[in-house]
Amino acid sequence: MIDRDTGMGAMSLSRRRFLAQAGFAGLSLSATQAWAQAIVRLPLASDPRDRPITSEFPQKGALILQRTRPPLLETPLEVFDQGVFTPNDRFYVRWHWADIPTEIDVGTFRLAVRGHVNKVLSLSLNEIIRNLPQVELNAVNQCSGNSRGLFQPRVAGAQWANGAMGNAKWTGVRLKDVLDLAGVKAGAVQVRFNGLDEPVVPEAPDFMKSLDIDLARNGEVMIAYTMNGEQLPLLNGFPLRLIVPGWYSTYWVKMLNDIEVLDKPDDNYWMTTAYTIPDTPYANIKPGQTGVKMVPISRMVPRSFITNIADGASFPAGVKTLARGIAMGGDTGVAKVDFSADGGKSWQATRLGTDYGKYSFRQWETDFTLPERGAHSLMVRCTNSANVAQPSVPNWNGSGFMRNVIETTPVTAT
Amino acid sequence: MGKHVLIMGLLMGAILLPSQTWPEELPALKSVHVELPSGDSQFPGGAGADAINNNCLACHSADMVLNQPALPRATWEAEVHKMINAYKAPIDNADIAPIVDYLARTKGTN
């Protein structure tokens, strides 16, 4: 109606809508980012904290845009409040190189198994699905650098808040069964995994990761062809993804198409330089400290999060309130989750939700009351079944890896 | 008797392979063809951004850098050399200083 009155046509209406959206998203850089619809303010240690929310990636719903190309998409906190499994269209995305195939033909795709084996294989998806026993596992996939943006002093890299993680039911085949089909020769020490993604610059190191042969054959490591009962979104590694339960996501190679059994340790860049951590408790060093022995990152550690209360939320003092969230044990199950409404001075046990297996998220909930008006700190602490608890002091390393300090949610009682 | 053996066999199978599921649940995967957003926005700053725009956007979009916190100049210098040495970014020697200057100017701690 306004347009008719002012004589503006449909073109200018859509132009104005576009400008309004771009302005709302805080994006004045370029018209090509007009697809961002809203912004989220992440609880990072310093600015910039605002990120666009995008729904413009294929097979994906609303996610936090950390980088457009190659995609880094973070899962918003509220998704973790909606259930213990992370929906495929909200599951975070992380790629190293921008040359990502955008077309996968399930008829012609092949998985190679080669190297130190008796028989080189080239397996079709049909052969993998039909000829090998199908297995299922619930497991958390978490980026090594999840929560990097909370590190102080700040470090370079993807500036994730806590959403570079997700939990899914993975269905597929055991890696061990695939290796047995090829027949691993005596003297094998590692197995190297490569996917279809490639660097834009051909001389750059292709992204490949390796596991020790015993881990590769432990019967738990698997090759998934579905995720939460559906084929994987392309950006989560369609058609096949390596699943290494309890280990950081760097090993969960996406678009897996090549398995090479090695008779000597892998010395490729992604094993020996990238994704290495200080060989110290909590991978912790002092900022600026040098001369520390570095080792490849491996097993995850316990973490827990409040998912129904955002940073800075306010509640009436003296009224009983529900706190709820998720926990993970890391490389083993969740034994208990404790909650504190007084900044860690006192702790109360929480009620744990259904146990979906030791590698899965587990929900927790508890009631609390803020006794008096003013600022309060809510905290949550997971202890895993190996009796490893989250520490009260944050770790630091130059790559921003393995954060697992007890997280604090500042709130106000009114 | 035969039925009992069959049931026992099924039970043992279930015990030995607890997470194994049944063949009728096998998925039928479908081919996928998608398009990804181009991520071709430029770094702001006019001529002062020429070096970073000309050298860095082939491999990654600008938002990765714009989302970084303020970091010391030495960190930016190390990042640029990591791109060149580890990730083989084909950056002209003459462009290294203008790129580091841009980063230290727009994303520096001082």
Q: Contact A388/A299 with Cβ under 8 angstroms?
A: no
Question: CB distance A66–B35 less than 8 Å?
Answer: no
**A-chain residue closest to B30, CA distance:** A106
Q: Contact A306/A380 with Cβ under 8 angstroms?
A: yes
Q: Provide CATH code, domain B42-110.
A: 1.10.760.10
B75 contact A CB<8A: yes
Contacts of A154 (CB under 8 A, 6+ apart): A45, A46, B69, B70, B71
Question: CB distance B32–A104 less than 8 Å?
Answer: yes
Residue-wise pLDDT tens digits, B59-74: 999 999 999 999 999 9
Domain assignments of chain B as residue spans, ordered by start: 42-110
Residue-wise pLDDT tens digits, A191-216: 999 999 999 999 999 999 999 999 99
pLDDT higher than threshold 90 for residue A26: no
Mean pLDDT within A390-413: 98
Distance from CA of B98 to the nearest CA of A (A): 19
Distance from CA of A129 to the nearest CA of B (A): 7
Strands (DSSP E) along A263-346, which ranges?
276-278, 294-296, 303-306, 314-315, 320-328, 334-340
CA distance A411 to A314: 6
Tell me the pLDDT band of B22, cut-offs 50, 70 and 90. Answer: low
Report the alpha-carbon angle A252-A253-A257, nearest 5. Answer: 140
Residue-wise pLDDT tens digits, A253-303: 999 999 999 999 999 999 999 999 999 999 999 999 999 999 999 999 999
Q: What percent of chain A has pLDDT over 70?
A: 91
Tell me the pLDDT band of A310, cut-offs 50, 70 and 90. Answer: very high
pTM for the model: 0.89
Q: Which of A405, A408, A407, A404 is nearest to A144 (CA)?
A: A404
Q: How many CB pairs under 8 A join A and B?
A: 144
CA distance B81 to B58: 16
**B-chain residue closest to A42, CA distance:** B67
Mean pLDDT within A372-388: 98
pLDDT at B26: 81
pLDDT at A11: 32
**A-chain residue closest to B29, CA distance:** A231
Contacts of A237 (CB under 8 A, 6+ apart): A195, A252, A253, A254, A255, A256
Q: Residue A46: its chain B contacts at CB < 8 A?
A: 69-70
Mean pLDDT within A23-46: 62
DSSP-derived 3-state class of residue A276: strand
Amino acid type, B69: P
Question: CB distance B71–A203 less than 8 Å?
Answer: no
Contacts of A100 (CB under 8 A, 6+ apart): A70, A196, A197, A235, A255, B36
Q: Contact A248/A142 with Cβ under 8 angstroms?
A: yes
Higher local confidence (pLDDT), B79 or A2:
B79
Which of A32, A66, A234 comes nearest B34 by C-beta? A234
Q: Contact A10/A25 with Cβ under 8 angstroms?
A: no
A8 φ, ψ (degrees, to nearest 5): -85, 135
Contacts of A264 (CB under 8 A, 6+ apart): A189, A190
CA distance A211 to A345: 42
Q: What percent of chain B has pLDDT over 90?
A: 75
